[in-house]
Structure 1
Amino acid sequence: MSSRISFAPSHENPAASYHLIFLVTGNPGLISYYDTFLRTLHELLSEKKSETGVFHIFGQSLAGFEDNDTPSKTTGLPHSLEGQIESRLQCLEDQCIPSGPRQGQVYDSIILVGHSVGGYIILEMLQRLRKSSRCNVKGGILLFPTVTHIAKSPNGAKFSALFRIWGFPRGASLAAKALLWPVPDPALRWLVHVVVGMPQDATEVTMRFLRSRMGIWQALHLAKDEMETITEDKWDEDIWGIEHEDAGSVVDIPKLVFYFGENDHWVADHTRDALIASRGREEGKLSSKPIMLIDENGIDHGFCIRHSESESMAEKVKVWIDEIIHR
């Protein structure tokens, strides 16, 4: 399994528009969980290539989750939330058209797609990219985003209590590895696939995560940082947009789409509803504020581990990408 997924179709028309769809994963940050989602999205976007341009779909595992990753050079610990933001920014800025007559050039537009904490990372990236001329970010799509007060969610409250125990991320990861070490791979695979109920391909990714050198520690270390960092809404109108009578005055603000779960154990209903009320677009008004939607189809926060939900989300994301490209 690779630490990155890249679908970069070749194209020989130098006048074609090139668009980068850049995925930021949730936690645990293994890109392989998103294979079905990204593959389906690639197929859907490729169907209309002649009408909308050329799409390059790219995603990479968060730092610290692959076996060849190393701890932070600054702290010697797993990578922090701030470290993940900086590494995603560097990865994005390194992207260029990989082949064809415009090889090596920058993309005409970039759309960021973030899942869970990836939504928070996207907002931070947008904040820091406002002064960048290299990255033409046209929009962001945030799926089941944890962007405010994650510790107030049902799961967040449970983990926050555990994280008050000194050294819990490291201690828990060592205990988990000690418990898993004597378990043969077939038995562990059976537990993940049958008892937990994961599909076969997600089971293999989870096996890799559980057996990795520092993946469990990285996931818990990052989760602790999320609980402490993801609190108040701290972004301004440069990110959130405004309602205005003149559409031309807000055209340079990236378009954002938020898609929340109906019963998301990582997002408290009251914090979600407060964010929608304060930052969401009001129906019928000229606005650059985000479109904020709540799922009505029973799709789970961890949609990426199930084929049907991955395909359903890819269909929705494809529609939003078309709207962002054509606005």
Structure 2
Amino acid sequence: MASISTLFFQLITLAFAFNIVANGQSLKVGYYQETCPDLEPLVKEIVDQVISISPTLAPPLLRMHFHDCFVRGCDGSVLLESPAKKYEKDADSYLSLRGFEIIDQAKAAAEKVCPGVVSCADILALVARDVTVAVKGPFWEVETGRRDGRVSIKSEALHKLLAPFSNISTLKKGFKKRGLSVKDLVVLSGGHTIGISHCSSFHHHLYNFTGRFDTDPSLDSKYVKKLKMKCKPRDQNSIVEMDPGSYETFDESYFRLVAKRRGLFESDVALLDDIETKAYLKFQALSHGSTFFEDFGESMVKMGRINVLTDKEGEIRSVCTKVY
């Protein structure tokens, strides 16, 4: 028989998940159809222009939406700026995010045609979709109707964002807490098919895995040699491609690499430590990503519903960096 504390925890978890679903139901595709009908073509035009010149901005702009949703929910709090450097974007784990000026540019364009209507949180969700498409990734219909949060706390970003060295247990719990499935975990990890990383994000994976100056034994030995050539023992700043050979193209090759024990982060390698995550990963690797694009769009929609503010909650910022 379950203990009272266990039942209480289960009820809290269910209530949290229900809140995510309930808020998510307030979102809808075409939310701005009447109030700002040109919004999506406008954002897409800006994104296409930027990515055609700077394709390396696609990964951090996609991750920006993920970072935003996983800390306080998809409320645009990642965009707020603090003179005292105490907001989410000031956390060390956010230093790799770039492209904030693109969000500002899209928001400014929206303000010109429909002032005071479109939230920064929705701009962020649309940009994440459009940068993915711009680097040959999938298209999905973005639900909109979010409002912007007024709170951003640096310490929350430090503790709530799942780290690249997370093990499979931590990853599964983190996703479940946010109303996402084990499948969503593997699918969204597939976003690592684009982008780069600094050596600091996986350094101890190579040189101090158990605190004894050792290497993660689960990594492919040939891959380890290549990584060590790029990241020397004291090197924290050099850059490595997350998906060597196609890091600027959104494709399924990430799954083939991880299946060969060539995942860059411990969180990538950890996907082989669970029956369910390993099965999905191997399926995509062997089927050349037959359902990956469709699955990615579905998981992004689900992620975009996490703890959103809607209706009378929050606000519509006129500038994404400042509370109205």
**More RCO (CA 8 Å, sep 6+):** 2
TM-score by length of 1: 0.26
Larger strand share, 1 or 2: 1
